[in-house]
Chains A and B, each alone.
Chain A
Amino acid sequence: MEKISALMDGELKEEAADEQISLVKQNIEKMDHWHLYHLIGDTLRHESALDQSHAKVSIQPVSQYSPSLSPSPRSSDASPLFSQQRLPHSNFNQRLRARLAAEPTILSPHPVRQKTIERSGISWLAPFFGKTAFNNYLLAAAASVTAVAMVSWAVLELEAGPRPAVSLAKKAIDKTVPMNERQAVIGVSAKALTAPSVEDPGSQYLQEYLLAHQGLSPSTAIQGVAAYVRSVSFQGD
């Protein structure tokens, strides 16, 4: 039960607190402790408030609490002021529990927790907006960044599509074709690459190379896969 005590004081780590809450709801004894510990706290605070109120009414100096101080002299007697602590009627909880049970269960979306914002390191922006507005802006900004990133990626992919094949082809030619022939193959214009001449001696290397690496051609939607695709058919009896 020590953990219940720490739970109600907010002194458990989040995971441990979550675990304890789960245990409390499963265990009537733990729920009972939760209730009693809060009752004790409320009673102590209430009495303290009444002490101060009483001191004000009788125009006496309010003694400040010090840790070594024993309880006030009137704390142990049942003065009429104690009656101000309002305990719920005997069946209050049972009635409320029955009413709650009759209510449809709530299933609402999980709200953005303040802690998430704090962790993100941009909580300093929050005061410039309302907190709700800030949360909305945060979500909208995240969605916008994601959308821009996706569009940019798609555009860059389209633009950069043919390059790997060309550069791969160029690399292969660099290795295998002599300098004088290479000029004939690659030349200055791309025409030599896109429409190699049959008579050109370098074009044979290029033809072979491109044939071998057809699977990497950007003309296929999924590069590198086409070469491994095999047609399969099935004929039943």
Chain B
Amino acid sequence: MGGDREIDQQLVERAQRGDKHAFEMLVLKYQRKLIRLLSRFIRDANEVEDVAQEAFIKAYKALPNFRGESAFYTWLYRIGINTAKNYLVAMGRRAPTSTDSNAEEAEELGESELLVDVNTPENEMMSRQVAKTVNQSLEKLPEDLRTAITLREIEGLSYEEIALMMNCPIGTIRSRIFRAREAIATQLRPMLDAGKDKRW
């Protein structure tokens, strides 16, 4: 398959055929990214989540119009931005003027330029714990697993490219990435189960 976009397209097509679970998988995949993006425009954490929910519902309703001409997230991004602008206007607040920027560019900015704290104290603590646990688990991984997952998640390389870099078969890479994820997930799970978030 052709990576992220292809799997998204497959999920979208399923959702277009009436499979709501496929759309739920897209929600689980993109909720944090969308929330981070919306946090650039709306400060209050609860409001951000309300707008994110509204954006997801709007996206679901508009799915018949999505024809895969752009990546799903780019399309979702536009819906998110418009929803946020409409929300701010409805609340009598001024919408930011810099929302016309390129989706991919804004996506990158969303990762790094979010230097204001929009978390509630509860969420902030949970976020810290998640980050700490992920990093500690990553450090404890054997080097081959750590390298494989880092090349995949941070560098965004395909299995084939990682296999070439690490000089081993693609099947081995697939297994290493899975084992790395599973090791980190094992550490995360008790913490998330203990919290209120039952994930899904």
Chain B: CB-nearest residue to A33? B185
Q: Is B77 an interface residue (CB 8 A)?
A: no
A12-41 with Cβ < 8 A to chain B: 12-14, 17-18, 21, 24-25, 28, 31-41
Tell me whether A106 and B60 are in contact in the complex, defined as CB-CB below 8 angstroms, given that A37-B185, A89-B46, A92-B49 are known contacts.
Answer: yes
Binds A, one of B82-90, B91-99, B127-135: B127-135
Residue of A12, A33, A76 near B135 (CB, 8 A) is A76
User: A67–B131 Cα gap in the complex (Å)?
Assistant: 21
Given A28-B200, A88-B31, A93-B27, also A83-B119 (CB < 8 A): yes
How many angstroms from the CA of A33 to the CA of B25 in the assembled complex? Answer: 11
- Give the B interface residue count (CB, 8 A): 104
Chain A, interface size: which category? 35 or more
- Could you give, for residues 30-69 of chain B, a 1 whenever the CB lies within 8 Å of some chain A CB and a 0 otherwise? 0111011001000001101100110011001101101111
- Chain B residue contacts of A13, Cβ below 8 A: 1
0/1 string, B156-173, CB within 8 A of A gives 1: 001100000110000000
Complexed CA–CA distance, A107 and B174 (Å): 35
**Complex Cα–Cα for A100 and B18 (A):** 12
Is the CB of B74 closer than 8 A to any CB of chain A?
no
Contacts of B181 in A (CB 8 A): 5, 36-37, 40
CB within 8 Å for A40 and B188 given contacts A93-B28, A96-B56, A132-B69: yes
- Can you report 30 residue pairs joining A to B where beta carbons are below 8 Å apart? A2-B175, A5-B177, A10-B1, A11-B158, A11-B174, A17-B7, A21-B25, A25-B25, A28-B200, A32-B199, A36-B188, A36-B199, A46-B111, A53-B115, A67-B151, A76-B132, A84-B114, A85-B127, A86-B119, A87-B123, A88-B49, A88-B52, A90-B198, A93-B28, A95-B53, A108-B64, A109-B64, A113-B68, A132-B69, A135-B67
- Closest 7 pairs between A and B when the two form their complex, measured CB to CB: A25-B21, A90-B196, A108-B64, A49-B111, A10-B3, A5-B178, A53-B112
* Interface residues in chain B, defined as those with a beta carbon under 8 Å from any beta carbon in chain A: 1-7, 9-11, 13-25, 27-29, 31-33, 35-36, 39, 45-46, 48-49, 52-53, 56-57, 60-61, 63-64, 66-69, 108, 111-115, 117-120, 122-124, 126-132, 134-136, 138-139, 143, 146-147, 149-155, 158-159, 165-166, 174-175, 177-178, 181-182, 184-185, 188-189, 192, 195-200
Q: Apart from A14-B6, A44-B134, A82-B132, what are 15 other A-B pairs with CB-CB below 8 Å?
A: A35-B28, A36-B189, A39-B130, A42-B32, A68-B143, A71-B135, A83-B124, A85-B36, A85-B130, A87-B197, A88-B35, A96-B56, A100-B20, A107-B18, A110-B17
Which residues of A pack against B, CB within 8 Å? 1-2, 5-14, 17-18, 21, 24-25, 28, 31-50, 52-53, 65, 67-68, 70-71, 75-78, 82-97, 99-101, 103, 105-114, 131-132, 135
